[in-house]
A and B are shown apart, each in its own frame.
Chain A
Amino acid sequence: MRYVVGIDLGSTTTKAVVLAEDGTPLGRGITNSRSNYDLACQVALTEALIHTRFALVTRALEAQGIEHGRALALIGDLERLFRREQYRGQAAVLARVTGEVVGRFGVEGSRPAAERILAEMDAEADRLFAPGASRKSDFFRDLAGSRWHALAEVEARKTGEGFDVLVALFDKAILEVENTPWGEGTFELFVRAAMKDALGVAAGDAAALERAVADAVSVSLEKIAGVGTGYGRARLPFPKECIRSEILCHGLGAHAMFPNTRTVLDIGGQDTKAIQVDEHGIVTSFQMNDRCAAGCGRYLGYIADEMDLGLHELGPLAQTSSRTVRINSTCTVFAGAELRERISLGEKREDILSGLHRAIILRAMSLLARSGGVHDEFTFTGGVARNPAAVDALRTLVQENYGSLTLNISADSIYTGALGAALFALREAKGHAPAPVAGEVAA
């Protein structure tokens, strides 16, 4: 099976979207960005191909007459168990690397404690991936990190083992674990491990599932084109002509998700983009934030750290506010100072947070105005589009300034840039003519 891929190498996460030759979406993958860009892309692509294989399993199930809802349920269980095995696989690498790090740094005294933590993590995997269990992140670094910290605290309390030493061990080891690629065959490796339990859960459909997985594994996937985008695009493992600006990719991706889109707002980790597109998804004008990252995702990350909250908790907490505090600082660092001052003055956390969300969106409103305003339909993308308080603030301010219009937010908005890149790759694959030189196209 031939496919094209679009990769969006962002400052926080790297995303990949895989499309079939006919443009059908097949799969998507995401990983945390890391200093090794090539590897971040490789991991995102591997994840997208895993997702693609699951799509193929679903197809193969349906081909055997399993109805759609049932197929999805089977896939849901299979994927959950797959992730558990993948977690275990990565934890095993973590165990090996941690052992090496202990030796390298001569902290043999900490080896037993580290081994107890690792054993506990392996034992916890069943619970962590039990049906209905919620996980704070899908990235191994986050999942393992939070468990390691919690277990290291227990160790430190119980045995007097140095907490700092244990945390330092993890910090050293995880870098190496993240830089150990799995690559080809990842799906096959973990799906086989997952099948034992999956077949049990599948009950009467076990034979169909087994056949479907065997079919999906046997498909050979062949990449025919790839386009990269994002902040690290200059370092993407693609030739220069296969690299597109993320502005164009977000414009085209948003158009693909919502064809009536005319204005796109993308708030990512370190930049905010206001983009106007025409009826074909072609960018007609754009504005980006200047050298300052206030008003971007990082601002929220900083605030979350200041408040000792998870990034995902900010929005919902802000939504409980009944009185929005006016935040004056437009600078990330100053906003931190203002935040502490407000708290010391007895303001409620949710009211301050509500004000901070509004402050971010006000900056975006200014960029939108500079790019030519907000036109119907308006599509909001990027990591911050997942934050419900940011969405509320945007909705209110757009209504106040531009009247009522359709606001589109896709649950998959984080993949918008990668989708746009994949669509460009599709055009490349279809052999689109080389760009004309200036002057050949008359006005």
Chain B
Amino acid sequence: MTTATPAARPAAEKDSSQVRQKEMIANHFTRLSHAPDTGEKCVYTYVPGNLTELLRAFDVLPVLPEINALQSGMRGKSRDYIMLAEKQGHSEDVCAYVKSDIGMQATGNVGPTGERLPGPDLLLLSYTGCFTFLKWFELLRERYKCPTVMLHVPYQAEGVITDSMRKYVVDQIKEKLIPELERLTGRKYDEDRLKENLARSAKAEDDLVAVLESAKNVPSPIDSWFGGVYYIGPIFTAFRGTQEAVEYYRALRAEVDERVRLGKGPVTPDGDLDKERYRVVVEGPPPWTHFRELWKMFSDEGAVVVASTYTKVGGVYDLGFRHDPSRPLESLADYCMGCYTNLNLPTRVDMIAKYVKDYRADGFMINSVKSCKSFSAGQLMILREVEKRTGKPGGFIESDLVDPRYFSAANVKNRLESYFQMIEQKRAGKEAS
């Protein structure tokens, strides 16, 4: 989700935003690797519900274990990490992100840039839609014997965030998290700094939404899944609320606007896509171990992902949410409860159906991953419902996040080809009638 591996894009096609992002992330990892010497504090936390603005207000650096896991997947390291974790007794059914991380920690905690990551000074869980996150931190707590703050974040069972839900989370931030951060850093909570961070977040969020919505153009200038995971990198991880993020998203938006002006299609592993043949919406995360291979299967068919739910796991900004300096802790609470996998199934169906319509998609595709129950539970119901509402065909492929043993290229390719030909055949049928 964060850095582009050198292999992921051809050098000639690298946009300047890409180069900038790579630098930002490399610098962050270098800073993390020096933290034991500089004395900077590190908090391990997850992408969904991350409270980066608050952490940054305390000058604390975030480390995102699931990002490290997906990076391990992209770099071909996750298989060995997973097998090591399994050797230690983790079952085949345990989330592969967890096992990849456990394996990485057990072999020296060397991160995606080849630098050693610091251990956590604090484990902060601010999202409970994924039960595995909780267990994951229990394992890390065993290993590092460090303080842990686990907030309970209510699920949006009724599809709305009520005042009492919001207050429940705000109270926990005030009573559990802020005192712990004060103790850890020896500083007082400074709400003005938090507000400045939140204001910068909102600016970057505006630009991110403009980038994602550029895919409403035909042809789309971007791919919102394969390309989208690069675009969400900074804002979903360590950079929300920073000036760097504001500048990155401003530059990215300008680049995408230019692509629209030139009528260019998205960048693919083989350069610019010349002909957009299929526009699809994708639900679910990508299989990181075969990211490029799957991307090529799409781009070879001229298939462009025009909207994806995965790029909303760290915030559903396009449906209106913004971090808000005028209600700092409340908007952080809303953020924790508002990320994609914390939405109930009817809301997810509404959202995908809306994407299919708004982005003029030919259909939608679900990548069901074995590891993640938060994503996968209910996906077949979603498939049927969205088909019914939009009249557009749904496709279904199965893989995993970072366990390469669950990716069968022949099987996936077969399903994709069938799916795209099905769209083709439907068009031909429509023309004939």
A residues in contact (CB < 8 Å) with B: 231, 244-248, 278, 280, 282-288, 290-291, 370, 372, 432-433, 435-439, 441, 443
Q: Are A438 and B430 in contact (CB under 8 A)?
A: no
Contacting chain A: which of B70-78, B158-166, B393-401? B393-401
Task: Among A290, A370, A436, point to the contact of B427 (Cβ < 8 A).
Answer: A436
Stretch at the interface among B58-66, B170-178, B411-419: B411-419
**Please, which residues of chain B bring their CB within 8 A of the CB of A246?**
414, 418
What residues of chain B lie closer than 8 Å to A435, measured between beta carbons?
Answer: 277, 424, 427-428
**A283 lies within 8 A of B277 (CB):** no
Minimum CB distance partner of B217 in chain A: A439
| Cβ of B429 under 8 Å from chain A | yes
Asked if B218 and A438 make an inter-chain contact with CB atoms under 8 angstroms apart, the answer reads yes
Chain A at the B interface: mostly helix, strand, loop or mixed? loop
Contact between A438 and B431 (Cβ–Cβ < 8 Å)?
Answer: no
Q: 26 pairs across A/B with beta carbons < 8 Å?
A: A231-B414, A245-B414, A245-B418, A245-B422, A246-B418, A247-B421, A247-B422, A248-B418, A248-B425, A278-B429, A283-B425, A284-B393, A284-B426, A285-B394, A286-B418, A290-B408, A291-B398, A291-B408, A291-B411, A437-B277, A438-B279, A438-B302, A439-B218, A439-B219, A439-B276, A443-B357
- Complex CA gap A286/B395 in Å reads 8
A433→B418 contact, CB < 8 A:
no
- How far apart sit A338 and B418, CA to CA, in the bound complex (Å)? 36
B362 neighbours in A (Cβ, 8 Å):
438
B410 proximity list for chain A (CB < 8 A): 231
Q: List which B370-407 residues lie within 8 A (CB) of chain A.
A: 380, 384, 387, 391-394, 396, 398, 406
Q: Which residues of B contact A286 (CB under 8 A)?
A: 418, 422
Chain B residue with the shortest CB-CB distance to A442: B360
Q: Does B278 contact A (CB under 8 A)?
A: yes
- A217 to B410: give the CA distance in the assembly, Å: 42
Cβ-defined contact, B421 with A245, below 8 A: yes
Contact partner of A443 (CB less than 8 A), chosen from B360, B380, B415, is B360
Instruction: A249 to B425: give the CA distance in the assembly, Å.
Output: 11
Contact indicator per residue, chain B 185-207, by CB within 8 Å of chain A (1) or not (0) = 00000000000000000000000
Q: Is the CB of B428 within 8 A of A437?
A: no
Least CB separation from B410: chain A residue: A231
Closest B residue by C-beta to A435: B424
From A245, A247, A287, name the one whose CB has the most chain B CB atoms within 10 angstroms: A245
Q: Is B275 among interface residues, defined by CB-CB distance under 8 A? A: yes
Find chain B residues with CB under 8 A from A432 CB: 428
Closest approach, in angstroms, between the C-beta of A321 and any C-beta of chain B?
Answer: 33
Bound complex: CA of A290 vs CA of B428, how far in Å? 29
Question: Are B431 and A433 interface neighbours, CB within 8 A?
Answer: yes
Give the interface residue-count category, chain B. 35 or more
Q: A437–B418 contact, CB under 8 A?
A: no
Distance to closest chain A CB from B211 (angstroms) = 20
Whether the Cβ atoms of B421 and A244 lie closer than 8 Å is: yes
Closest chain-A Cβ to B356's Cβ sits at a distance in Å of 9
Contact A438 B428, beta carbon cutoff 8 Å: no
Q: Say whether A438 contacts B380, CB under 8 Å.
A: no
**Cβ contact within 8 Å between B418 and A372:** no
Chain A: minimal CB distance from B108 (Å): 33
By beta carbon, the residue of chain B nearest A369 is B380
A439 touches B430 (CB 8 A): no
Q: Write the nearest CB–CB distance from A431 to chain B, whole angstroms.
A: 13
Residues of B near A244 (CB, < 8 A) are 421
CA distance A349 to B367 in the complex (A): 41
CB distance from A156 to the nearest CB of B (A): 42
Residue of A nearest to B425 (CB): A282
Cβ–Cβ < 8 Å partners of A370 in chain B: 380, 396
B431 touches A441 (CB 8 A): yes
Q: Is the CB of A437 within 8 A of B406?
A: no
A288 vs B408: C-alpha distance when bound (angstroms): 13
Q: How far is the CA of A435 from the CA of B426 in the complex (A)?
A: 11
Contact A436 B431 (CB under 8 A): yes
User: With a CB–CB cut-off of 8 A, which chain A residues contact B415?
Assistant: 288
CB distance from A380 to the nearest CB of B (A): 19
Given contact pairs A245-B422, A283-B422, a sample of 12 additional A-B residue pairs in the complex whose CB atoms are under 8 Å apart:
A247-B421, A282-B429, A283-B418, A284-B422, A290-B411, A291-B408, A432-B428, A435-B427, A437-B275, A438-B304, A438-B362, A439-B218
Q: How far is the CB of A177 from chain B (nearest CB, A)?
A: 29
- The minimal Cβ–Cβ distance linking B302 to chain A, given in whole angstroms, is 8
Look across to chain A and name the residue whose beta carbon is closest to the beta carbon of B427: A441
A375 to chain B minimum Cβ distance, whole angstroms, is: 14
Q: Given A438-B278, A441-B430, decide whether A288 and B425 contact each other with a Cβ distance below 8 A.
A: no
A residues within 8 A CB of B218?
438-439
Within 8 A of A (CB), among B269-314: 275-279, 302, 304
CB pair A282–B426 under 8 Å, yes or no, is yes
CB atoms of A439 and B418 under 8 A apart: no
CB distance from B265 to the nearest CB of A (A): 11
Enumerate chain B residues within 8 angstroms of A372, measured Cβ to Cβ.
384
Scoring B391, B408, B418 by chain A CB atoms within 10 A of each residue's CB, the highest score goes to B418
Given contacts A244-B421, A436-B427, A437-B276, contact A290 B398 (CB under 8 A): yes
CA–CA, A287 and B391, complex, Å: 18
| Assembled-state Cα–Cα distance A208/B431 (Å) | 49
